[in-house]
Amino acid sequence: MFDALYISATGMQAQQLNVDTIANNLANVNTTGFKKSKVGFSDLMVREAGRLGQTQEGAGILGAESRLGAGVGIASVSKLFDMGDLKKTESAFDVAIQGEGFLEVTMPDGSSTFTRGGTFKVNRDGLLATSGGFPLKSNIAIPDNAQNMQIDGDGRVRVQVGGQSTPIEVGQLDLVRFTSPTALLPQGDNLYRSSTGSGEAIAAKASEDGMGSFAQGFLEGSNVKLTEEMVNLMVAQRVYEANVKVMQASDEMLGMINGLRK
């Protein structure tokens, strides 16, 4: 009975995290570039059903070889990088990646983060940067008198400078890939950091070797599917309720035992 209490408690704790994760997915259903998270579960380490030192003959009807689980645990909370729908904005500073790949961003401390695109701007240093002002690793300088910025599918950035009819190339946007992108660590603002699980960033060219291409004038929407998340939420609630009932039943049985009279 005590085991059932602890096992149901692990189930309730695991499903609470599951509900929290689904709630965060639903809250960001309209967030540009948001990638949904998924909780992975694993059974906790099993143990022998018999008491310590008990022989096979004394283990009861289960036998010494029978083993019981100790509940459920959280194996992982990972990001799913399925591509969201592209939404047309017609803004020259809105850029989406159509397919696999990330843009590398330089942070104030010199470290690197990675993004799937979004709304860019020219920061105070004249560099093409994220909406938060962090420059892209490519260090693309946009002239003050630049007009009509163009980003080709392969990442070439061209601008038309006042007084000239022919656009000039000012830089090249390159992409990176990861061995296991689901292990990237979210930092907020559509930025991610690499981890031991994700591996180091692998440089690649856009539109080559299976890498994605750039889509200027588009933003990638969230990959959260509302109907799917609502179904997942209902399932998580039912599993949580089932664990509550197990705990209540175990408590009632313990109450019966305590109420026994000789």
Does one domain contain both 99 and 208?
Answer: yes
Does one domain contain both 95 and 191?
Answer: yes
Does one domain contain both 75 and 93?
Answer: no
Does one domain contain both 143 and 215?
Answer: yes
Average pLDDT of the segment spanning 226-246: 96
53 pLDDT higher than 70: no
- Specify whether the CB–CB gap between 256 and 116 falls below 8 A: no
Helices 226-258, 2-27: crossing angle, 10 deg rounding: 160
The total of structural domains in the chain comes to 2
Does one domain contain both 156 and 213?
Answer: yes
**Helix ranges, the chain (H):** 2-27, 226-258
59 pLDDT higher than 60: no
Does one domain contain both 59 and 77?
Answer: yes
| Confidence tier at 261 by pLDDT (50, 70, 90) | low
Q: Which domain holds residue 153?
A: 86-220
- Specify whether the CB–CB gap between 158 and 167 falls below 8 A: yes
- Provide the b/e sequence for 1-19 (b: ≥16 CB within 10 Å): eeebeebbebbbbbbeebb
Does one domain contain both 122 and 104?
Answer: yes
Does one domain contain both 106 and 183?
Answer: yes
Residue 107: name the closest of 174, 191, 200, 205 by CA: 191
pLDDT in tens, 92-129: 999 999 999 999 999 999 999 999 999 999 999 999 99
Does one domain contain both 230 and 213?
Answer: no
86 pLDDT higher than 50: yes
Q: Is the pTM of this model over 0.85?
A: no
Does one domain contain both 167 and 43?
Answer: no
